[in-house]
Amino acid sequence: MTHLIDPAHSASQIRRRLWMLLVQAFTAVVLLTILLLVVLSVLVINAQSPRVFFFVPSVAYALEGFYLGQGNWTGVERLSGDAGTLRFNNRGPDWERDAVLLDEKGNVLVDYSGGTSNVGKPYTTRREDLRFPLRVKGNQVGMLIVRGRPSEPSFEQSETALLWRTLSGLLFPIGFISFFTGLMTVVIGLVLMRRVVSPLVDVIAAAQLVAAGDLSTRVQVKGRGDLRDLSESFNRMADSLERNDLDRRAMLADVAHELRTPLTILRGRLEGIIDNVYPADEEHIAPVLEETYMLERVIDDLHLLSLAEARQLHFDLAQVDLGESARHAVDLFEMAASEKNIKLKVDVENDLPTVSADGQRVEQVISNLLNNAIQYIPAQGEVIVDVKRTAHGVAVSVSDNGPGVPDDDLPKLFDRFWRAEKSRARSSGGAGLGLAIARQLIEAQGGMIRASNVPGGGLKITFELKSNTI
């Protein structure tokens, strides 16, 4: 069962989903920005904090190198700084600390504050001290102590305060940058939605309507480049689908009409014979048999046309002389033309090249054109078959001196079941399939067919097939 789709509701749902994607993108950008800035702040604090983030001062590596080269701590006091203090880095006086070097037993080797009273004695650590173990080849050979001053906050307390001050200071810029980045994401998303997403939404909604059976749906062509091409291609596709659907409906109606008339005649005649209204003699049975022949021809033509349109018709290709095919077809219609006092004439150019085609199908096309001309022109008329060379192959033209066809109706000549006179009876106008079959047979063999009015009156139908010897 096909459900009707509200285009406005469908487009609204698609836009809602896209908005959700945009909000998710906004949230992701904000979170990623915050995470990035937090990581950067951690790296900054790590570069400035020797305690909280386990930063080992470079002098510790120097002391370990001294022990590795010396094998003991003899002469280590010579590594003291000029001012008698151990400077961790060049960031200023806030990062200068008194230091003490201990041996592996915890005794003082060097007091870098300049004092010597504690040298050789065990060192008593305090809560504000920073301890950096010194290791050589995996063994602890000593300890570097950085002493905090009792008059100032402990080193841990100062570093914690520094951490919080740094994070607090970064909170506002982090929030501002995250909000600004997210806002830019929303703005870019809105621009993309207007220029890219909205045309796609219209096409998606229209495609859903077409899939639901509304072949009259079209989208407004907007956007640039590929999006505009997409809208135009969709509209062309919808036009083609709608036209094919109309053709299918028209064909079914025409087939029903073409079959209904002979079936009605057959039913009436047979019921009359059964009810003894008509005698069962040749005079009354012959028309019934004629109608069955008509039905058989219509069904055969429809079958042939459907195979040709589906490109499933088999062709026995060979080198064909179109001049000979035209002469043979004219010979077959001499009797039918003479009954209407119509003159048939064949004009074949000399030394024509052959074409690659199915000879039987080509003669069928010429026969359809001759039959069409003989049926539509009045008595005492003339039909001329002209075969001549062209730039790409050989062309066959069948022209008459009848009333012709209005210029507006020329493109309709090759439509199935189309007749120039809607009131024309089947007996004189046929089923309206001859020219449709002719077009399919010619185009399936790589040729082309066209119709035009003859100056002074009459209709001319020409088809052309390519030759490999041109």
pLDDT of 169-199, one tens digit each? 666 676 677 677 767 777 776 776 666 667 7
Task: HSE, CB side, 13 Å, CA atoms: give it for residue 447.
Answer: 27
pLDDT value at residue 394? 94
E strands in 112-182: 130-136, 139-147
Mean pLDDT, residues 294-321 taken together: 79
Residue with tokens 């507006």: 408
Looking at the DSSP assignment, which residues form a beta bridge with residue 165? none
* Cα 76 → chain centroid: 76
Spatial separation of the C-alpha atoms in residues 273 and 276, rounded to whole Å: 5
For residue 361 the two structure tokens come to 């199908």
Q: For 374-413, give one letter per residue: b (16+ CB within 10 A) or e.
A: bbbbeeebbbbbbbbeeeebbbbbbbbbbbbbeeeebeeb
Mean pLDDT, residues 22-43 taken together: 71
Structural domains of the chain sorted by starting position, each given as residue range(s) with its CATH number in brackets = 7-49+161-210 (no CATH), 58-152 (3.30.450), 225-309 (1.10.287.130), 318-466 (3.30.565.10)
CA distances from 395 to 187, 390, 464 (A): 64, 6, 4
Spatial separation of the C-alpha atoms in residues 303 and 305, rounded to whole Å: 5
- Give the best-scoring range by mean pLDDT among 130-134, 210-214, 349-353: 349-353
pLDDT at 335 over 70: yes
- Contact between 159 and 94 under an 8 Å Cβ cutoff? The reply is no
pLDDT at 246 over 60: yes
53 or 49: whose pLDDT is higher?
49
- Contact between 154 and 148 under an 8 Å Cβ cutoff? The reply is yes
Spatial separation of the C-alpha atoms in residues 50 and 67, rounded to whole Å: 23
For residue range 373-417, what is the model confidence (pLDDT) as tens digits? Answer: 888 888 888 999 999 999 889 999 999 988 888 888 888 788 776
Share of the chain above pLDDT 70, in %: 73
84 or 170: whose pLDDT is higher?
170
CA distances from 265 to 227, 261, 290 (A): 57, 6, 10
- Give the best-scoring range by mean pLDDT among 222-226, 292-296, 301-305, 345-349: 345-349
pLDDT at 321 over 90: yes
Share of the chain above pLDDT 90, in %: 13
pLDDT at 449 over 90: yes
pLDDT value at residue 2? 41
304 or 153: whose pLDDT is higher?
304
- Give the best-scoring range by mean pLDDT among 17-31, 51-65, 411-425, 430-444: 430-444
Mean pLDDT (the chain, rounded): 76
Spatial separation of the C-alpha atoms in residues 103 and 66, rounded to whole Å: 13
Could you tell me the maximum CA-CA distance found in the chain, to the nearest angstrom?
152
pLDDT at 83 over 60: no
Which amino acid type is present at position 427? S
Residue with tokens 């135009």: 232
pLDDT value at residue 155? 45
pLDDT value at residue 85? 41
Mean pLDDT, residues 426-436 taken together: 63
pLDDT value at residue 147? 74
For residue 318 the two structure tokens come to 């060979």
pLDDT value at residue 396? 94
Q: Please, which pLDDT band fits residue 425 given cuts at 50, 70 and 90?
A: very low
pLDDT at 4 over 70: no
Mean pLDDT, residues 213-236 taken together: 80
CA distances from 114 to 75, 86, 295, 323 (A): 16, 11, 126, 125
Q: Please, which pLDDT band fits residue 99 given cuts at 50, 70 and 90?
A: confident
